[in-house]
Structure 1
Amino acid sequence: MKRLIRMILSRTSLILLLVLAQLAFLFYVLNFLSQFLYIQIINYSLSVLIVLYLLVKEENPIYKLTWIMPILIFPLFGGIFYIIYRQQNFGKRILNRYKEIDVERYEHVKHIENPIGNKASKYLNNLNWPVYNQTKTTFLGSGEKMYESLLIDLRNASSFIFLEFFIVSKGEMWDIILAILKEKVSEGVEVKLIYDDFGSSTLPYRYHKKLKSYGIDAVPFNPMRLHLNFAMNYRDHRKIVVIDGVIGYTGGANIGDEYINKIQPFGHWLDAGIRLEGDAVWSLVISFLENYRFQTGNDINYLAYKKETSLPEDGYVAPFNDAPLDKELVSKNMYLSLINEAKTSIEITTPYLIIDNELSEALKLASKSGVDVKVIIPYIPDKKIIFMVTESFVPELMQAGVKVYRYTPGFIHSKIMIIDGVEAMIGTCNLDFRSLYLHFENSVYLNQVNTIKEMSHFFSQTILQSNQVSAVKKKNILYKIFQVILRGFASLM
């Protein structure tokens, strides 16, 4: 009940109500103007032209359908709404700044040679995300393990701390982390924090100013606005921690009590992350500073945060990020590349399974080609409507031989893919449209690293706590109709 009240009274709900009011006003004005014949002709013509434009536009077909269907159903309003909503975005100045920052990455990594030269590493290297071979990795198979390890490293910080999270919510977890950060600031440690303004909307208004009063350089990412704008879809879903340029963390867990099971709104919350120590942390430093520069407009000296390390070789590690502004679908391309490379097994954990035709066909082809494909999804969903869409993808995957499991203790939030027991990806990217197309994400590509064995063990143990979906339960006709409608708008979920 308290959760519901907080949600109703939150800043997000207020902004949503104001946006809906704008929509209602827009439709009222258009409906009033439609009584004039020439206005009707203009609106209908505009809708037809936009549909033709969408048909030839270079974009995912499902995104096109998501717009074409409502425009054709409501041709009087659809075209105008598309222009007002979809075409509003970040301004050219902001986009140019992002491109400049992205291009500059080359100067900071050009000296790093690719030690393996396989397809995945060549692709990342081409995007200036190098592969490192002197990095210690530690797999953390729960939010609790990640939190425990993180607290130790935060307390030992001596130079600087970078934190970037989609969600920061008040509670025991944040209270303890904040107390450590304030203590570190008093010791002269530099602390920077980026949090997504939508994901962290339960925080008080202008909370970053309060944090600044503690000496923490806090930046809310893409602050929510009181007007319709497609750019509001671009959320910072990354989870990055860098400590002294030597230690780094990423994974599925945000800062909130549900991630460490202090509260359990959806049963047991199972997450996973990875701790990096050594050369590969440099890419996490770059990733954080790029986003910091993009959001603040401030220039910054990257080399001031670069630390030299010397650790023994243990396979290959390549942290990388993904952003919706460069039209390079890095996370999706990495998923496709690794799936297509698989020879014996593909093991996936994901909280959502809302994928486009390319990923669906790749998984089905792998299964039909003799690869053992296993996917674990939640038993208790955190968003029931979105889970209805996830359910709709299960039957077609099962028909192709993909084994789907549901984590019976509750909600699995880890984002892991393991290929043949020798390659893996772990990070923040869900197998859904928002992560693959709209969010700022980050992950780590692993090759021949001992940690992959621990990840495979984690997957095997999670299978033991999961039930394999053997047959899809029959749903009533209204449920199926609603499910079909939702799937039509899957690209917005």
Structure 2
Amino acid sequence: MCSVWVGYYWLSQNASQNIYIEIVFNVLYWLFRINILWIAIVIFLENKNPSRTVAWLLVLTLIPLLGFLCYILFGRSYRKKSLSKSKHLADSDRLLHAAKVQQGLIDYIELPNSGNAHNKRLMQLILNNAKAPFSLKNEINVLTNGINKFNRLIGCIERAKEHIHIEYFIIKDDQIGNEIRRLLIEKAKKGVKVRLIYDAVGSFRLSKYYIDSLKRAGVEVYPFFPVAFPLFSRDLNYRNHRKIVVVDGVVGFVGGLNIGDEYLGKSNRFNFWRDTHLEIKGEAVYALQTIFLNDWNYVSKQVVDGAQYFPEHLIEKQALIQIVASGPDSEWQAILQAFYKMMASATDKIWITTPYLVPEESLMMGLKTAALSGVDVRIIIPSQPDHFFVYWASQSNIEALLEAGVKIYQYKNGFIHSKIMIVDRLSATVGTTNLDIRSLEINFEVNAFIYDVPTIIRLEEDFVKDLSECNEFILEHFKNRRFRNKVLEALGRLVSPLQ
């Protein structure tokens, strides 16, 4: 605000040279003040989160010019309603119909590991809030770390015969990124239909050559929410954080890994990248396909749908899954609500791996309540940051969770990016959703909710192995942390509601 007054003073002193400058400046100055007042009113009326409302109002009051710019870039949510109306251009009637049918049958049907009331209520919730039907005839392959994910992904792409659908938050123009590009070009030239969505902000460093070479080969490529200035855009708020691949409608991939060398541990910053992805075959692929096609039809303004994208499969194995999409276009915060239901229903254990520990208020209360009631709550987080403010916001929540009896561990063998929750060996979820406000309330995300015991046991084995690479936080020691850390935590906590 000082800079505005300095400018005003300077112009007033030189106004005799040009009276019109003073008039223009006065008009701009009052327009700016009116904008500030209007934004304050909008924040007060629209924002249902009191802490976020107070945070934005304080920023606008104390640093109005910077606060005004920040709100224009990051804070506005006026597009959310228009998104919910415009994005669902091609909801799959078959899946919506299946969800409606299952809603009426959930109390009567018998499914593996669904007899438990916890699972039936969780499945009912997801049927209602996400319109996500459950599927039984599936085969799940847990892919631990990048080497396993990319080996399986490349093999599937090489075997593709009809179509390849790819959607990623981050695609990098590096060794593995160019290997994927080469394969997509090769398949497109052989007549396979290749469609690619990349997030315009997450992949803003992706070169024009990379994209143009794909297009020249016949690959259809579209950015999600393209922006002229990725670092200075209001559309930063609504990012597509999903990682989906569907090959021929029969094999699907979902999880935490983007496309880039760093996800293979080839990074100067992190010597090892720990992550989890899923390869799914069977009926659940239809849900991944539907989510991709909804996103594709939105970004391309095409209408792509049809039975050829939902072919019959030969899977006879049984693995109960629901695939859930959530985002600004959703009527409900489906994944957040499913996380809350899982936590609230736990009687034995809640095991979580997340790169960011900034849960919104209800999940924070769920974790503390579970631990205080005797549930074994364990959370693995990274020991080093990849995003400064989120890291310190995560650190700011540790003491309160430790006091409630939650056990928190720092992963020491590189950076851990897995997004996993396991509850009571009854249900688990793997996907793209971090335990932070941005993922849970703003980004477009997708998670697999799994009720298959062998898969849950496999995830538990990975979790136990990860614990062996961790140091546990001790409450007494953590309370004695450096004053500098407490200041950074306070800063991270202050910034976190602004997301």
Q: TM-score, normalised by structure 2?
A: 0.85
- Residue 65 of structure 1 pairs with residue 54 of structure 2: yes
* Local SS of the residue matching 2:344: helix
The residue type paired with residue 245 of structure 2 is: V
- Residue 370 of structure 1 pairs with residue 359 of structure 2: no
Which of the numbers 119, 122, 133 marks the counterpart of 1:120? 122
* Local SS of the residue matching 2:448: strand
Structure 1 equivalent of residue 14 of structure 2: none
Q: Distance in 2 between matches of 1:423 and 1:130?
A: 16
Task: Assess if the C-alpha contact under 8 Å between 1:30 and 1:77 holds in 2.
Answer: no
Q: Distance in 2 between matches of 1:37 and 1:457?
A: 66
- Residue 443 of structure 1 pairs with residue 430 of structure 2: no
Task: Assess if the C-alpha contact under 8 Å between 2:88 and 2:298 holds in 1.
Answer: no
Structure 2 equivalent of residue 487 of structure 1: 493
Deviations 1:384-412 (A, max 9, x none): 34211111111110000000001111110
Which of the numbers 301, 321, 345 marks the counterpart of 1:317? 321
- Most deviating of 174-183 and 285-294: 174-183
Q: Distance in 2 between matches of 1:282 and 1:27?
A: 59
Q: Distance in 1 between matches of 2:34 and 2:366?
A: 39
Task: Assess if the C-alpha contact under 8 Å between 1:266 and 1:381 holds in 2.
Answer: no
Q: Distance in 1 between matches of 2:92 and 2:83?
A: 17
Structure 1 equivalent of residue 170 of structure 2: 167
Q: Distance in 2 between matches of 1:451 and 1:34?
A: 70
How far is the alpha carbon of 1:483 from its aligned partner?
Answer: 2.6
Q: Distance in 2 between matches of 1:411 and 1:426?
A: 18
- Most deviating of 299-308 and 339-348: 299-308
Task: Assess if the C-alpha contact under 8 Å between 1:342 and 1:419 holds in 2.
Answer: yes
Instruction: Mark the structure with the bigger radius of gyration.
Output: 2
Structure 1 equivalent of residue 392 of structure 2: 388
How far is the alpha carbon of 1:421 from its aligned partner?
Answer: 1.4
CA RMSD of aligned residues (A): 3.2
Structure 1 equivalent of residue 16 of structure 2: none
| Structure-2 change in CA distance of 1:81 and 1:394 (3 Å) | closer
How far is the alpha carbon of 1:310 from its aligned partner?
Answer: 3.6
* Local SS of the residue matching 1:484: helix
Q: Trace 1:391-430 onto structure 2 (pairs within 5 A).
A: 391-430=395-434
How far is the alpha carbon of 1:105 from its aligned partner?
Answer: 3.6
Q: Distance in 1 between matches of 2:478 and 2:158?
A: 49
Deviations 1:353-382 (A, max 9, x none): 112211111100010111100000012222
| Structure-2 change in CA distance of 1:34 and 1:70 (3 Å) | farther
Structure 2 equivalent of residue 150 of structure 1: 153
The residue type paired with residue 278 of structure 2 is: I
* Local SS of the residue matching 2:307: helix
Task: Assess if the C-alpha contact under 8 Å between 2:173 and 2:207 holds in 1.
Answer: no
Q: Distance in 2 between matches of 1:400 and 1:30?
A: 53
Q: What 5-or-longer segments of structure 1 have no aligned partner?
A: 1-22
* Local SS of the residue matching 1:346: strand
- Most deviating of 294-303 and 241-250: 294-303
- Most deviating of 286-295 and 44-53: 44-53
Deviations 1:298-324 (A, max 9, x none): 111242311112422423101121112
Q: Distance in 1 between matches of 2:491 and 2:147?
A: 38
- Most deviating of 208-217 and 421-430: 208-217
Task: Assess if the C-alpha contact under 8 Å between 2:392 and 2:489 holds in 1.
Answer: yes
Q: Trace 1:94-493 onto structure 2 (pairs within 5 A).
A: 96-101=85-90, 104-111=91-98, 113-114=101-102, 116=114, 118-126=120-128, 127-205=130-208, 207-226=210-229, 229-326=233-330, 328-470=332-474, 471-472=477-478, 474-492=480-498
Q: Distance in 2 between matches of 1:347 and 1:415?
A: 11
Q: TM-score, normalised by structure 1?
A: 0.86
How far is the alpha carbon of 1:297 from its aligned partner?
Answer: 1.1
How far is the alpha carbon of 1:52 from its aligned partner?
Answer: 5.6
The residue type paired with residue 481 of structure 1 is: V
* Local SS of the residue matching 1:315: strand
The residue type paired with residue 370 of structure 2 is: A
How far is the alpha carbon of 1:328 from its aligned partner?
Answer: 2.2
The residue type paired with residue 487 of structure 1 is: R
Q: Distance in 2 between matches of 1:216 and 1:249?
A: 20
Structure 2 equivalent of residue 5 of structure 1: none
Task: Assess if the C-alpha contact under 8 Å between 1:221 and 1:295 holds in 2.
Answer: yes
Task: Assess if the C-alpha contact under 8 Å between 2:425 and 2:453 holds in 1.
Answer: no
Task: Assess if the C-alpha contact under 8 Å between 2:166 and 2:245 holds in 1.
Answer: yes
How far is the alpha carbon of 1:425 from its aligned partner?
Answer: 0.4
How far is the alpha carbon of 1:455 from its aligned partner?
Answer: 0.3
Task: Assess if the C-alpha contact under 8 Å between 1:135 and 1:311 holds in 2.
Answer: yes
Q: Distance in 2 between matches of 1:147 and 1:365?
A: 39
Structure 1 equivalent of residue 106 of structure 2: none
How far is the alpha carbon of 1:159 from its aligned partner?
Answer: 1.1
